[in-house]
Amino acid sequence: MRAREEDRLAITPLAVKDECAVLRFSGELDRGSEQFYLDRIGAVVATGYRHLVLDVTALVFCDSRGLNCLLALRWLLHRREGSLLLACVGRRLAAVLTLTGSTEMLPVYSSVSEALRTLPADQRPDWPPTGDADPGIPLHNPEPLATAWQQEHNPHLPLDPRAKD
């Protein structure tokens, strides 16, 4: 039995401020979770967040399709004059990034705090988060994925997201 996409990857909002969000990724980022990722992260970007810090401490697997998902997000944020920062990268993901030469486009930081320090002070959310407040980020995108991701121009995504590698 095949696992549902949302069982393969969890995206948890941790902190937000203005145009910056810190999200934790848990599980696997690959072809099996791609649609889930595109929908959830597309909603975050469509809401107006231009700077994303991804805490990938609990990301246990990321293949080439997952890497393309990250590069597609970086491309989209860059077009919106934003940034994508990866925090707490494990050795497996670090190896994928290094082997593919992606570390120049996807900056890696040892902690969320370190990643946040690279952003303008007025854009940084409180870290670590205080209290149990839900950051209130919508995690479902009502607009078509092709629109949300500018899919016709994004070089990191197939034109049909259901297409096989």
Tell me, what's the pLDDT at 1? 35
Tell me, what's the pLDDT at 141? 61
**Among 79, 71, 75, 19, CA closest to 44:** 19
Tell me, what's the pLDDT at 160? 56
What's the CA gap between 9 and 134, in Å, rounded? 19
- Phi and psi torsions of 78, nearest 5°: -60, -40
* Averaged pLDDT, groups of 10, the chain, 165 residues long: 67 93 96 91 90 97 94 94 96 93 94 97 90 66 59 69 49
* Tokens 């370190």 found at: 114
Phi and psi based region of residue 30 (left: phi greater than 0; alpha: psi -120 to 50; beta: remaining): beta
Tell me, what's the pLDDT at 153? 78
* Tokens 């909603």 found at: 43
Tell me, what's the pLDDT at 165? 46
Tell me, what's the pLDDT at 161? 47
Domains along the chain? 5-112+135-148 (3.30.750.24)
